Chain A
Amino acid sequence: MKSVYIHIPFCNDICTYCDFCKMYYNCDLANKYLISLNNEIASNYKGELIETLYIGGGTPSSLSIMQLKKLFTIINIFNLSQLKEFTFECNVDSLDYDKLKLLYDNGVNRLSVGIQTFNNDILKVLNRKHTKNDIINIYNIARSIGFNNINLDLIYGIQDIEVLNDDLNNLIKLNPEHISCYSLCINPNTKMYIDNKKQINEDLDYKMYSIIKKRLKEYNHYEISNYCKKGYESKHNLVYWNNERYYGFGLSACGYINNYRYDNTKNMNEYNKGNYIREKYIISNEENIKYEIMLNLRKKYGINKREFYDKHNINIINYNNISNLINENKLIENENNVYISERWKYKMNSILIKII
């Protein structure tokens, strides 16, 4: 156990595609929430050394300066002497110099900024309140303060190919250490879904994915939707993909401790009453192997054969269909790893369901 995720469910504006657990920012509500969050952490954290900390949302940067300060005192419950990565999620319009400086001074060493696109018209469709210039300004301020590990989120499938290429030009020019790219997914309970907006067809989706992959060739495509410069993989997210344990605190947060995974409640009243956990899933050894395969294969180098054997006492090559899939060149085996071949990466579900 070396990782903690903390969920801040507030946003100043609701994006038309977002299906995460979120609500409009309200000062009193947020104050109350921080008290509950403090209680949850105090009653469940067992004092482990924490190496990665991730504050996500919602929009954590929607909190006021006072509330952010409060949040940082809460975080001091953790034993952070070995903290390696401290990520803070933000969006452009809720950031300014003072907030960024506060984050920096309190140990945040990785920013994750949801920019989505540089196209002002499309930003409006997404109900993002920032513009292309705002992105560039905030990015430069963050740099000037000293942030040297910045992730930018890009959405594709909302713009046409020309705009996508523009976005990629702008992105490459900013030269962030890390880029996450997701095709727009229109989920139920989002404004776009209610407005009956249609998702792009999978041919165009794949084409855009291929363009992005090609344009970001200087980056390491280390997970299906994630690219980074050498050495800048997200340590926190790798905990998930390596099927390691982590705490999740806050409304709707999920965690994996001991032999179970858990989902916290999405109901603020319940949460404030101290009924944090909504559901627990006991993970048997057999289930754990399936989770591990599903998560590991998201990574460029997939499953480490040795580590897999040490953990489960099973040779991964002998597991279910793995060797057949290697013969079919859908999986690649090298000295240390088994991973999904480049051609099959974007169709990996069809491989996973043959294994797990």
Chain B
Amino acid sequence: MNINNIRNFSIIAHIDHGKSTLADRILEYAGNISERDKKDQILDSMDLERERGITIKLNAVQLKYNYNNEEYIFHLIDTPGHVDFSYEVSRSLAACEGAILVVDATQGIEAQTLANVRLALDNNLVIIPVINKIDLPNSDVNSVKRELIDTFGFNDEEILLVSAKTGQGIDKLLEEIIIKIPSPKITDDRLQALIFDSIYDSYKGIILLIRVVNGNIKIGDTIKMMANNSTYEVIELGVYTPISKSKDVLTSGEVGYLCAQIKKIDDIVVGDTITHNKLSAVEPLIGYKKMKPMVFCGLYPIDSKDFEDLREALEKLKLNDSALSYEPETSKALGFGFRCGFLGLLHMDIIEERIEREFNINLIATSPSVIYDVYLTDGSNINVENPTKLPDRQMISRIEEPYIYTNIFVPSDFIGSVMELCQNKRGNYISMDYIDDKRVNIHYEIPLSEIVYDFFDKLKSYTKGYASFDYDIIGYKANDLVKMDILINGESVDALSIIVHKDFAYKRGKIIVENLKEIIPRQLFEVPIQAVIGSKVLARADIKAMRKDVIAKCYGGDITRKRKLLEKQKEGKKRMKTVGSVEIPQEAFLSILSMDERK
């Protein structure tokens, strides 16, 4: 393998700008895919990814392409598009020398385009700008070109025009990849291979996805993980084409997989460097910056028997998602579960859904929280990620909360609506950049805790779906924050406690108790619901006692149907949690998220 003929690259794009379709087309043009293996969006292999049309986990594919009678090896490393996964983007980018920047000809630059370009530049990648979807009747190539030139300083000539759908411009793109993206460079003769992902396989153990930077790796080699010096014998090597194809050796510059019967999840750190046990490299490669989870919530199995299964599920998910964190916790209301940390809301959503779908565990998720920095009167300081753990008010001198800096891309018609929304979310206006005469990028500083509620949905509805949104965490600020508890039938339900700004507490409390009143079905007795701060009641709503729960008509024609109805009612009851003799449906634990009154 001639290292000069290897090209390692990623495709970066805002969601829905056509990244996966472009990847498919490149795969097709490089001739790897037989009709039989052809599924739409081949790199998106998780069901969830294909359903939502987004890429979550990166994937690496080896392609062979003939250019001027020479064979080139491409390694296409897929990246997720969403802000929550910028960590994963940076992981894939670290294994590349170049990136294809895809922008939708009908949409122009969006919030995540900006974020991804920044990451690519951080990784010193060569960027090939591509305008996609030029076949669409409403495409506006010229103004998108203008945006790319003005925002990132590209030249007119280097911007490629492509339709991933029709294949137009793909040949030119492949040529540019060869010409512009540099081949990998060898800097040392000892083995250094970067682990950029890992997958659990019940037969092969943990499969590592690696990029060999220096040296060669062969079957039978004894390798060492540089982070903890654990050693393994290499049993299988290979590349994905995208079907896995085993090889005897991976040489420098190559991207592929490695199996070594690894069973101990703790031994594997994504971002670690693999070297030979003898003749070790002197230093590991520069790994990844550890991402800190920013959003936390409690995950509880509905059936307490599933607790151990939930632990196992989290363990396996963490294997290739090191940004996920979890720690056992107990709740009076919900029993045994885990406090889990996520990069953002979508990340949280996806993990919850994967647990329910891939591991078949029914979950109750508590409302998400951020990490608060709490300064105590004795001068010490603690992190609180679970509102229940907030110390007594007398012991607290001040509470600081994380803030974000927003990039909100929106047509200028919606500036007013976006500002109104941000203002309601305790935001401070910073500035506004005009992308062109029709679109702006609005910058606010907003507490992260306000984003974890219903900001995304609100932003969408306030802007008729036109806004795109991205953010950076910028640090902590002190605010007048208090813990609000929810009492149901006089008992505090720990899983419903939240930390709120004092000025917003009354309004939130009122909405929460009203929502809970609608969600919690009538019980056999009257149930008061109260929102309290300390002993002060801010809001109260009463659920009246149940009066009627009967099948009024039951004659010859109804009997089997009514029997089914009862069975359904019984099942519904099973899915509720009993707190102080009140049966609470799952929905209640998330209702606290909504800032709106239910209709």
Contacts and interface: CB of A to CB of B under 8 A. Distances in A.
B566 A294 contact: yes
A32 B557 CA distance: 23
A93 B570 CA distance: 42
A237 interface: yes
B548 interface: yes
Contacts of B522: 202
A174 B557 CA distance: 29
Interface string A11-27: 00000000010000000
A224 B550 contact: yes
Interface string A24-59: 000000000000000000000000000000100000
A128 B496 CA distance: 51
A295 B559 contact: yes
Contact of B548 (A182, A206, A254, A352): A206
Interface in A290-327: 290-291, 294-295, 298
B524 A182 contact: no
Contacts of B555: 237, 240
Contacts of A295: 554, 559
A255 B573 CA distance: 30
B449 to A, nearest CB: 37
Contact of B566 (A252, A263, A352): A352
Interface residues of B, number: 24
Contact of B547 (A54, A202, A246, A353): A202
A348 B557 contact: no
Contacts of A203: 544, 547
B286 interface: no
B546 interface: yes
A354 B114 CA distance: 58
Interface in B539-559: 544, 546-559
Nearest to A283: B560
A5 interface: yes
B560 A225 contact: no
A74 B289 CA distance: 86
B560 A347 contact: no
Contact of A346 (B524, B547, B556, B558): B547
Contacts of B187: none
Contact of A5 (B547, B556, B563): B556
B556 A246 contact: yes
B569 interface: yes
A347 B546 contact: yes
Contacts of A182: 552-553
A206 B558 CA distance: 23
**Interface size class for chain A?**
35 or more
Given A202-B522, A356-B566, A349 B560 contact: no
B204 interface: no
B569 A254 contact: no
A239 B496 CA distance: 50
A183 B544 contact: no
B576 to A, nearest CB: 12
Given A185-B552, A202-B522, A348-B550, A248 B557 contact: yes
A346 B554 contact: no
Contacts of A224: 550-552
A353 B548 contact: no
A25 to B, nearest CB: 20
A281 B554 CA distance: 17
Contacts of A345: 550
A54 B557 CA distance: 12
A214 B23 CA distance: 75
B560 A254 contact: yes
A329 B552 CA distance: 22
B172 interface: no
B556 A291 contact: no
Nearest to A347: B549
A281 B552 CA distance: 23
Nearest to B569: A353
A205 B559 contact: no
B524 A347 contact: yes
Nearest to A353: B570
B553 A240 contact: no
Given A225-B553, A349-B566, A350-B524, A240 B559 contact: yes
B559 A346 contact: no
A350 B559 contact: no
A256 interface: yes
Contacts of B544: 203
Contacts of A294: 562-563, 566
A295 B555 CA distance: 9
Given A203-B547, A206-B547, A291-B563, A349 B557 contact: no
Interface in A242-258: 246, 248, 252-256
A347 B548 contact: yes
A101 interface: no
A298 B551 CA distance: 9
Nearest to A340: B550
B181 to A, nearest CB: 60
Interface string B80-105: 00000000000000000000000000
A252 B522 CA distance: 35
A280 B557 CA distance: 13
A2 interface: no
A183 B559 CA distance: 19
Contacts of B560: 254, 261, 263, 281
Nearest to A185: B552
Interface string A248-287: 1000111110000101000000000000000001000000
Contacts of A255: 556
A339 to B, nearest CB: 15
Contacts of A20: 557
Contact of A349 (B547, B549, B558, B559): B549
A129 B547 CA distance: 33
A346 B550 contact: yes
Interface string A194-215: 0000000011011001000000
Contacts of A352: 566
Nearest to A243: B559
A20 B566 CA distance: 20
A213 B272 CA distance: 77
A205 B548 contact: yes
Nearest to B570: A353
A356 to B, nearest CB: 7
B552 A253 contact: no
Contacts of B558: 254
Contacts of B562: 294
Interface in B568-599: 569-570, 573
A345 B549 CA distance: 9
Contacts of B547: 202-203, 205-206, 346-347
A58 to B, nearest CB: 11
A281 to B, nearest CB: 6
Given A248-B556, A290-B563, A295-B559, A347 B570 contact: no
A239 B548 CA distance: 26
A7 B560 CA distance: 17
B548 A346 contact: yes
A6 to B, nearest CB: 11
Interface of B: 522, 524, 544, 546-560, 562-563, 566, 569-570, 573
- Which A-B residue pairs are the 10 nearest by beta carbons? A206-B547, A353-B570, A202-B548, A349-B549, A347-B549, A202-B547, A254-B557, A5-B556, A350-B549, A182-B552
10 contacts: A185-B552, A202-B548, A225-B552, A237-B555, A239-B556, A254-B558, A348-B549, A349-B550, A349-B566, A350-B546
Interface of A: 5, 7, 20, 54, 182-183, 185, 202-203, 205-206, 209, 224-225, 237, 239-241, 246, 248, 252-256, 261, 263, 281, 290-291, 294-295, 298, 345-350, 352-353, 356
Given A254-B559, A349-B569, A353-B573, 14 more contacts: A182-B553, A202-B522, A203-B547, A205-B547, A237-B555, A240-B556, A253-B556, A254-B557, A263-B560, A295-B554, A347-B547, A347-B550, A349-B549, A349-B550
